[in-house]
Amino acid sequence: MPILSPEQQAEIEQQRAQTTPTRRATVPALEEILYEAKPVLDHGFVRVIDYMGDDGAIVQAARVSYGKGTKKVSEDAGLIKYLMRHWHSTPFEMCEIKYHVKLPIFVARQWIRHRTANVNEYSARYSILDKEFYIPQPEHVAAQSTENHQGRGAVLPSDQAHRVLDLLREDAERCYRNYQQMMNLDEAGQVADEDQSGLARELARMNLTLNYYTQWYWKTDLHNLMHFLRLRADHHAQFEIRAYADTMMESFKRWVPATYAAFAEYRLGAAHVSATGLAIIRRMIKGEKVTQENSGLSKREWAELMETLGDAAARQAA
C-alpha cells in the first residue's frame, strides 16, 4: 500500500514544482529533498516542510555579527565545534525545521515526550483515520528483556513471532471493522444505512489499536532536534522511533553539515562519564587493578562503564 494518498502526492508534486526568490539563507542539499516523503516502517514517512537558517546562522548568532563576515569556513566549523563541545545551546536555537511525519500512534505517544516543539496532529475527531496499521517484521518481534524493564530481549522463535503478528493483524482488522460500524459506514467508507445515525468520530476512535497510523506537523529548533536525535537514534532506543530518528538524521546532515559533524563527534560518538567513572579511568591508566567491588559503582553502573570503555578496559578489570 502506498505511504502517500493521491491527494498528498499531488500536493507534493505541486510544491516541488514551485520556486520562490528569497534573500533568506537557503541550503541546496536540503532543497533537493524538500517536501519529499522518506519512507519509514511499513506505511510511515518523514518529510521536511520548511526550515530557517543554516550553519552560518549559528556562527552569526554566536558572534552577534551583521553578516557572514570574513571568517573562513574552517574557522566557522571550529567555532561550531567549540559551541558543541562546551554545551552552548542558544546559537543552535536560531535555526528551525518543520517536518511532516506519519507514524504509529504508540510511537507518537513516545515522541510527544519531547515537549520542546510545536505539534499539530491529524484530528480523528474531525476526520476518519485510514485503515493503515503497523505490523513489525518478524526479526523485530522479541521477548521482554530480563535486564531492561522497558526494552526487548531475544527475538522470538519463528512460529511464536508469526503467531504474534497474526494476532496483531487480526485485532487491528477487527477493531477497524467495528470502528466503521459504529460510525455507520460500510467497508468502502460510505454511509451504510441512511436511517441510522453513526457514533461521533471522537468516540469511535477510542476503539482503534495503538499501531494505527496518525500524522502531524512537528516543528522544532536545531538544539532540541539534536536532543531528540541523541536519545532516539541511540541503539538503546525503541526500534520503531529509532527508524524515524535515523531518517531525520539525513535531513539534519544535509541542512547543517558542520553542525552535524560536531554533533557526531561530541554527542553520537562521545560518552558521558561520571566523576567516579573518571576517577576509575585515571586509576586504570596508572596501572591499578580496579574491580566492581572496589570501584564504588553498582553492578549496573560498572557494566555501563565497561561497555563505554570497551574490551581493553574490561580485560584489565578482569
DSSP class of 184: T
DSSP class of 185: B
Residue whose C-alpha is closest to residue 205's, from 112, 136, 122: 122
Instruction: Map residue 129 onto helix, strand or coil.
Output: coil
C-alpha 206/C-alpha 220 separation (Å) is 29
* Confidence grade of residue 21 (pLDDT, cut at 50, 70, 90): confident
Structural element, H or E, at residue 44? strand 44-52
Question: Which three cell numbers mark 60?
Answer: 552569526
Cβ atoms 50, 98 nearer than 8 A: yes
Cβ atoms 220, 97 nearer than 8 A: yes
Residue whose C-alpha is closest to residue 12's, from 28, 48, 36, 32: 36
223 or 70, greater pLDDT = 223
Q: What are the C-alpha distances in Å from 42 to residues 47, 67, 108, 162, 250?
A: 16, 45, 15, 17, 19
C-alpha 34/C-alpha 29 separation (Å) is 9
C-alpha 23/C-alpha 157 separation (Å) is 58
Strands 118-121 and 213-221: antiparallel
- pTM here is 0.88
Residues 6+ apart with CB under 8 A from 241: 107, 110, 111, 232
Q: pLDDT digits over 172-215, tens only?
A: 999 999 999 999 998 888 888 888 889 999 999 999 999 999 99
Question: Which three cell numbers mark 33?
Answer: 529533498
Q: pLDDT digits over 110-156, tens only?
A: 999 998 999 999 998 888 999 999 999 999 988 888 777 777 888 88
C-alpha 305/C-alpha 288 separation (Å) is 16
The active-site residue, picked from 230, 232, 254, 267, is 232
Is residue 177 annotated as a catalytic residue, yes or no? Answer: no
CA gyration radius, the chain = 24
